[in-house]
Amino acid sequence: MTKSIKNYPKFKLGATFTKEQLDFFNKNGFVHFTGVLSPTEVDELIAGYEAAQEKLIKSKEKTVKGIPVIFGHDENGKRIVQRFPYTSYYSERIKQLVLDSRIQGFKHLLTERSSRVTDSERDGVVFNHYVNSKHSRFKQMGWHTDSIREVFYAKKVFPTLNIGIYLDNSSAVNGGLRVLPATHTQGLFGMLFTKMYYRNTKEDKNEVLVVAKPGDVVVHHGHIWHRVGHSEHTDSVSRRRVMYIPVLCGPKQKRKPPKEGKTGKTPIYHHLHAFAKFDQ
């Protein structure tokens, strides 16, 4: 474990990554870039999500390509999609973001030649909408690593990244992302047993709170332990919207399109979410 970096440095995204940026990421397993997207782009992405949300709700589908969707209600009682996989399949604007050179460039944080930014593998582009309202089903997320699914399926664990696109102010006020720096270097034992997956939502003395603004991008390594806190506030103050775009290495993992009239088979890994404390 690295020494405390509660006031960690934040960077500006350039044409290439600086040595300081790469050194920080390689040591700590995450890196924060400010103002990558403009306010106009943030608004466009929110509008893209809202339009995609309406399409999905009208379709009455409960999964996308077999991946479960988490539905809930906002502070006004409106039904919303709180965890939306493969969002780019429903929004051309979000699809454009995946192809944006700024986003594509994040694959170079990994040295593997096979690294790729993708919206057609794992769960695609995932849009998370946290809100602490009466009928919300997505208020927090317990400790986990993103790479556990490869362990679960007895596959080789390659380095991965998650590119977090922030669309709201994010801090302890609305939960906020917490990471355990340097845990991306852990071995398999640490990945399996450091925390109880999803059930453990407790604060860790070594965790670092990510404080971000709309348009910021925070990239974290797939092996790092992280969680999302529960907001002490309710309704609109507690809202936190963030999109995650995966960077993967190794053999491609595209899910086959479901046959007509079928939604696709849900991977066993996603049944673990039944044990999670998302809405408590």
Q: How many helices (H) and strands (E) does the chain have?
A: 6, 14
- Give the number of other CB atoms < 10 A from CB of residue 15: 7
Structural domains in the chain (count) = 1
The answer to the question of residue 197 being in a domain is yes
What is d(CA 32, CA 53) in angstroms, rounded to the nearest whole number? Answer: 28
- Has residue 215 been placed in a domain? yes
Residue 5: the pLDDT is 72
20 lies in some domain: no
Q: Residue holding tokens 């906020």? A: 176
Asked if 259 and 60 touch (Cβ cutoff 8 Å), the reply is no
Q: Which two three-digit tokens encode residue 44?
A: 């466009």
Per-residue model confidence (pLDDT) at position 191:
85
Do the domain assignments include residue 13?
no
Give the helix/strand (H/E) hosting 240: strand 235-248
Residue 156 is predicted with a pLDDT of: 85
- Residue-level pLDDT at 4: 53
Residues 6+ apart with CB under 8 A from 263: 61, 62, 63, 65, 66
Predicted local confidence at residue 247, as pLDDT: 97
Average pLDDT of each block of 10 consecutive residues along the chain (280 residues)?
A: 70 97 97 98 98 97 93 95 97 98 97 94 96 94 90 80 98 96 91 90 96 98 96 95 96 62 59 64
Q: What domain range is 75 assigned to?
A: 29-253+261-275
Residue 9 lies in a domain: no
**96 found inside a domain:** yes
Look at residue 206 in the predicted model and tell me its pLDDT: 94
Which pair of tokens denotes residue 56?
């999905």
Q: Which CATH number covers residue 214? A: 2.60.120.620
The pLDDT score that the predictor gives to residue 150 is: 78
Residue 264 has a pLDDT of 61
Q: Is residue 3 a part of any domain in this protein?
A: no
Does 172 map to a domain? yes
Nearest to 29 by CA among 5, 7, 61: 5
| Alpha-carbon gap, residue 43 to 167, rounded angstroms | 8
| pTM, two decimal places | 0.92
